[in-house]
Structure 1
């Protein structure tokens, strides 16, 4: 990162619903509802926004009292500023406010398992050779005591 570059802000966005996705998921949602597990995920979308618009962020789904982090992406030039940690903490705070008691995420052995471990996530499963020679690793965290989200652009 160049010293004069202004770090991006974190902005919460609405993720538009996709009608086709809803139609594909509908039979599963109907079945789950009949079993008293209503499936109506809510999205959490946090975008890193800067002078050039959206540049990374986090997308998660909240359902059945858990948050599933689908995407966490911080561009290389913004790494080391705590933005990934801020994005996850802000999403966790939103999840707790929505009644979630846990969060889960998956990553790869060549990506960011150390990051998730450092912020309190614990591995609960591994899929070997995905991709070949690597692992897909699943992490979870109890959200009972989530610290408040840090202010935007805190170091």
Structure 2
């Protein structure tokens, strides 16, 4: 029997499931089944999707993976509205908090104004910038 490592340029859903399967088994054995659910909110302008929010609900937390608002709509409260709607849906799904990662050249101040606190930093990624990790607790449990 041979074991090898292979690069997969565009993993199919089946390949992704196969890669995640050992993690799920390991986590499930410890009482934490890996069952992420996608949360996607589209930002529409003239009936076209121009941005939005994509997140993942898992283990009582929402992870905001992507938040995109086009330049011509920035400053109009759309980013805030997307995050607040995601938070409402996270509470309804039983989540106790939200976490997000962003970069110093992107939007840490935006999240801080929404009540997020910095919980980690990866300096030097990319270049002389940092990747920041923030969270916001939604409930006291």
After TM superposition, the score normalised by the length of structure 2 is 0.87
1:92 to 87, 109, 121: 87
2:123 matched to 1:135?
no
Question: In the TM superposition, what is the alpha-carbon distance from 1:19 to its structure 2 partner?
Answer: 3.5
Query: What residue number does 1:24 align with?
Result: 19
Question: In the TM superposition, what is the alpha-carbon distance from 1:25 to its structure 2 partner?
Answer: 1.0
State how far apart, in whole Å, the 2-side matches of 1:135 and 1:142 are.
23
Q: Give the 3 Å change call, closer, same or farther, for CA 18–81 of structure 1 in structure 2.
A: farther
Query: What residue number does 1:76 align with?
Result: 71
Structure 1 residue ranges (4+ consecutive) displaced by more than 4 angstroms after TM superposition: none
After TM superposition, the score normalised by the length of structure 1 is 0.79
Give a deviation string over 1:99-146, Cα, whole Å, max 9, x none: 00011000000000000000000000000000111000000000128x
1:48 to 39, 43, 47: 43
SS at structure 2 position matched to 1:38: coil
Give a deviation string over 1:31-64, Cα, whole Å, max 9, x none: 1001110110011000112226211100000011
- RMSD of aligned Cα (Å): 1.5
1:37 to 32, 39, 43: 32
State how far apart, in whole Å, the 2-side matches of 1:98 and 1:20 are.
28
State how far apart, in whole Å, the 1-side matches of 2:105 and 2:15 are.
33
Unaligned runs of 5+ in 1: 1-16, 146-155
Query: What residue number does 1:11 align with?
Result: none
State how far apart, in whole Å, the 2-side matches of 1:37 and 1:62 are.
13
Query: What residue number does 1:151 align with?
Result: none
Question: In the TM superposition, what is the alpha-carbon distance from 1:84 to its structure 2 partner?
Answer: 0.3
Unaligned runs of 5+ in 2: 1-11
Q: Which has the higher contact order (CA 8 A, sep 6+)?
A: 1
